[in-house]
Amino acid sequence: MMRPFLRTSALLTILFIATSTGGQAPLSRTIDLCAQDGITFVPSNALAHPGQTLPVAVLGEGEPADIHLSLSFPSTGGDDARLIFIRSGKPLLTTTLEGFEGPYGWVPSGSENKYIALSWGGNATVRSTKLFEIAPDGTITENKLLIPLVERQFKIDAHRVCRNPGINTLAVKWIDADHLLVSINAWRTGSCNSNLTEGFILRMSTHAVQRKLTERELVNLPAVCTWNLVPVGRH
């Protein structure tokens, strides 16, 4: 059962107030993934056998949450993969993961079986994210609105530091059953040396952006994992 929105709203208010603190020193941390916040899959052995389908993860325990994820790689090779959602041996949905060459996959957990977020990446700088919704009858559909929406909003800011920014989009974690935290970074493309990261809190039930976070707000958000960066010039 979903939590009452009054409690959710109060939680988000606490989170937003907490992000406003901190000094003006250069950032020494960056966003990271907490193992307890989701499932990581790295099926590197599948890439050596094009044409095979490899089980990679199971979401939930028992009906209606027993969704199995499998990856299928084209027999002709290439960087794309097909992700297959399966329940009780029956395929529910197949979607393409472009550039799944690394490979890397991350599925944040904790949305009370109503939504699925999935991120994948081909190398250290490029990640992509897709969102899916689970209907009461168990069918799964892809939400094609929210990720393009936040990426368009991010590009407006990113263009100030880079003419043609590469977009690195990561679903970090579920704040609660209805709110997903997403991080987007602009990475270097060609001669453009960009350096911008922002966070977005998405409200799935209304298909809306609840709040945009600066990089400092993002790394200081309570319950978000970070890792320390070695300052330039330090050894």
- Per-residue pLDDT reduced to its tens digit, 56-102: 778 765 455 588 888 887 776 667 888 899 988 889 999 998 877 65
Q: What is the pLDDT of residue 112?
A: 81
Segment 33-61 shows an average pLDDT of 74
Structure confidence by residue, pLDDT tens digits, 91-150: 999 999 887 765 678 999 888 878 999 999 866 567 899 999 998 888 899 999 999 999
Rounded to the nearest 10 degrees, how much is the dihedral formed by the CA atoms of 156, 160, 166, 167? Answer: -40
| Cα distance between residue 211 and residue 194, in whole Å | 23
Instruction: Determine contact, residues 43/83, Cβ cutoff 8 Å.
Output: no
Structure confidence by residue, pLDDT tens digits, 169-181: 999 999 999 999 9
Tokens at residue 48, please? 């050596």
| Cα distance between residue 132 and residue 67, in whole Å | 12
CA neighbours within 13 Å on the CB side: how many for 53? 10
Confidence of residue 202 (pLDDT cuts 50, 70, 90): very high
Backbone phi, psi, residue 227, to 5°: -135, 150
Instruction: Determine contact, residues 170/118, Cβ cutoff 8 Å.
Output: no
Tell which wins on pLDDT, 9 or 131.
Answer: 131
pTM here is 0.80
| Cα distance between residue 198 and residue 183, in whole Å | 6
Q: Which of 221, 204, 205, 222 is nearest to 213 (CA)?
A: 221
Structure confidence by residue, pLDDT tens digits, 184-197: 998 776 666 667 89
Residue 20: is its pLDDT beyond 50? no
How many residues are listed for the chain in this entry?
235
Residue 234: is its pLDDT beyond 60? no
Tokens at residue 116, please? 């699925």
Confidence of residue 8 (pLDDT cuts 50, 70, 90): very low
Tell which wins on pLDDT, 6 or 134.
Answer: 134
Residue 49: is its pLDDT beyond 50? yes
Residue 45: is its pLDDT beyond 80? no
Structure confidence by residue, pLDDT tens digits, 207-221: 999 999 999 999 999
